[in-house]
Amino acid sequence: MSSWRSALLYGTPPAALALAGLLLWAGHDSEIAIVAMVAVWCVLWWVFEPVPIPVTSLLPIALLPLLGVLTPAEVGQAYGSPLILLLLGGFLLSKAMEHSGAHRRIALGLVRVIGAHSGRRLVLGFMVAAATLSMWISNTATTLMLLPVALVVLEATRERRALSVPLLLGMAYAASVGGLGTPIGTPPNLIFMQIYQQTTGEAVTFSQWMSWGLPVVLVLIPLMAVFLTRSLPGRIDVDLPEVGRWRTEERRVLVVFALTALAWITRGEPFGGWQAWLGLPQANDASVALLAVVLMFVIPNGRGGRLLDWERASSIPWGVLLLFAGGICLARGFESSGLSTILGNSLAGVTDIPTFWLLLSICLLVTFMTETTSNTASATLLMPVLAAAALAADLPPELLMVPAAMSASCAFMLPVATAPNTVVYSSGMVTTSQMAREGLLINLLGALVIASLCWLML
């Protein structure tokens, strides 16, 4: 471990404790001082990672009940949040999809439909495939699956040098943007939904999030493709890999996945959705996801096994669930102690800025912040503060929270910013300077599109 990481590892706890002492000396309530101490401790360890991010996420879960800010029951509710269970179900469903290979067939089918004889259309095809898949399976898994296909395509063309950067970057960027299309696409979406429900008492439905996220995906993907392919030659002939005949496992996984997506989208709409028609007021998206997971464990795959087994299921990113639970605990600590109200009131004056420029400023701030920090950690820290600021300024909380949640997944400049960036950088065909140059302008474009559409929709 480097010396500065060691300094942060051992120096952060006493520094956070000193902050708590200063707040107590200034006359603040002890709960406010404790939550501020835990928040600063988490921020520094989340940003600089002297220990793994999931380990840091255990701090609020351990310290807030220990120091009397939350009860053990409230901490348990964080782990049992329906949105954590939805994320768990989404991870498990994506494992079944990855194992079946159906996602590769979908991706290549989309690329063929859009066109493989034009450089621009080829890049757009890969971007549409990446965005479509990453709405339902993790951005990382999407990029890892598409990268070998993209490398085969690059090997088969004479325009490898010109095509490699736009194809690989477009694929990575589209995987990040596609995650905005559904609540399960990327964790910041669900963090927004959780904090919004805690703040307002109203739940955001699956279809409601899609009504905000899908327009961003549909506008941003073509714009990014046009920018990234601006210097590509017109016609490029490539041979796409063959996928062979449909297998039983692929068909069955896609049927379960399609029915699950349909159930998510129609749970509350139209006309009250099946939740109202069947008289199931407590039904939620997590229930749908977990029932689908059970089906994956039960349905045969046609080869003597099941669509999902525990060996693969146990390899999901459990650390993200810990981070999510820790974030919910910290957000509840902010709310119960009154710290979020204090921070919100201090930021309320900022909302005097014209709405569009305020949203654009938030998008730019969050985008560049997440170039060096986890998007999930960033969303965890910002959502309670933005919710309180909106309420203090008498604005709808979603007006500030939605663009921030979306921008948390739109950092495109650095290999460390997102997992898809890291994956394509590891191919050795994209340099840091190339990613930074293209990513800077895509960052600005993404912030502008998100701010503009949120301004119009919210």
Q: What are the angstrom distances between the C-alpha of 374 and each of 47, 81, 145, 368, 430?
A: 7, 21, 22, 11, 22
Is pLDDT at 300 greater than 70 in this prediction? Answer: yes
What number is the average pLDDT over the span 437-445? 94
Spatial separation of the C-alpha atoms in residues 107 and 82, rounded to whole Å: 30
Is pLDDT at 290 greater than 90 in this prediction? Answer: yes
Residue 300: beta bridge partners?
306
What number is the average pLDDT over the span 356-380? 89
Spatial separation of the C-alpha atoms in residues 239 and 241, rounded to whole Å: 7
Is pLDDT at 364 greater than 90 in this prediction? Answer: yes
Q: What are the angstrom distances between the C-alpha of 220 and each of 88, 124, 177, 363?
A: 28, 12, 8, 14
User: Which pair of structure tokens corresponds to residue 151?
Assistant: 């490398």
Q: pLDDT tens digit string along 334-350?
A: 888 888 888 877 777 77
Is pLDDT at 400 greater than 90 in this prediction? Answer: yes
Query: In a 3-state reduction of DSSP, which class is residue 30?
Result: helix
Interacting residues of 226 by C-beta distance below 8 A, sequence separation 6+: 120
Spatial separation of the C-alpha atoms in residues 129 and 107, rounded to whole Å: 5
Spatial separation of the C-alpha atoms in residues 122 and 48, rounded to whole Å: 38
Is pLDDT at 1 greater than 70 in this prediction? Answer: no
Do the beta carbons of residue 325 and residue 84 sit within 8 Å? yes
Residue 235: beta bridge partners?
118
DSSP assignment of 378-415:
HHHHHHHHHHHHHHHTT--HHHHHHHHHHHTT---SST
What is the model's pLDDT at position 239?
66
Buried b (16+ CB within 10 A) or exposed e, 76-107: eebbebbbbbbbbbbbbbbbbbbbbbbbbbbb
Buried b (16+ CB within 10 A) or exposed e, 141-172: bbbbbbbebbbebbeebebeebbbbbbbbbbb
Percent of the chain with pLDDT over 90: 38
What number is the average pLDDT over the span 9-24? 91
Is pLDDT at 226 greater than 80 in this prediction? Answer: yes
Is pLDDT at 235 greater than 80 in this prediction? Answer: no
The 10 Å Cβ neighbour count of residue 177 is 33
Is pLDDT at 215 greater than 80 in this prediction? Answer: yes
Furthest-apart CA pair in the chain: how many Å?
A: 72
Is pLDDT at 9 greater than 70 in this prediction? Answer: yes
Spatial separation of the C-alpha atoms in residues 56 and 108, rounded to whole Å: 40
Is pLDDT at 208 greater than 90 in this prediction? Answer: yes
Which pLDDT band, with edges at 50, 70 and 90, does 46 fall under? confident
Residue 277, Cβ density class (10 Å: 0-12 exposed, 13-18 middle, ≥19 buried): exposed
Most confident of 59-63, 273-277, 400-404: 400-404
What is the model's pLDDT at position 234?
66
What is the model's pLDDT at position 178?
95
Do the beta carbons of residue 420 and residue 141 sit within 8 Å? no
pTM above 0.85, yes or no: yes
Most confident of 171-175, 196-200, 281-285, 420-424: 171-175
Q: What mean pLDDT, rounded, does the chain reach?
A: 88
Output phi, psi for 146, to 5 deg: -80, -25
Q: pLDDT tens digit string along 92-139?
A: 988 898 888 888 888 878 888 887 677 888 889 899 999 999 998 888
Do the beta carbons of residue 441 and residue 434 sit within 8 Å? no
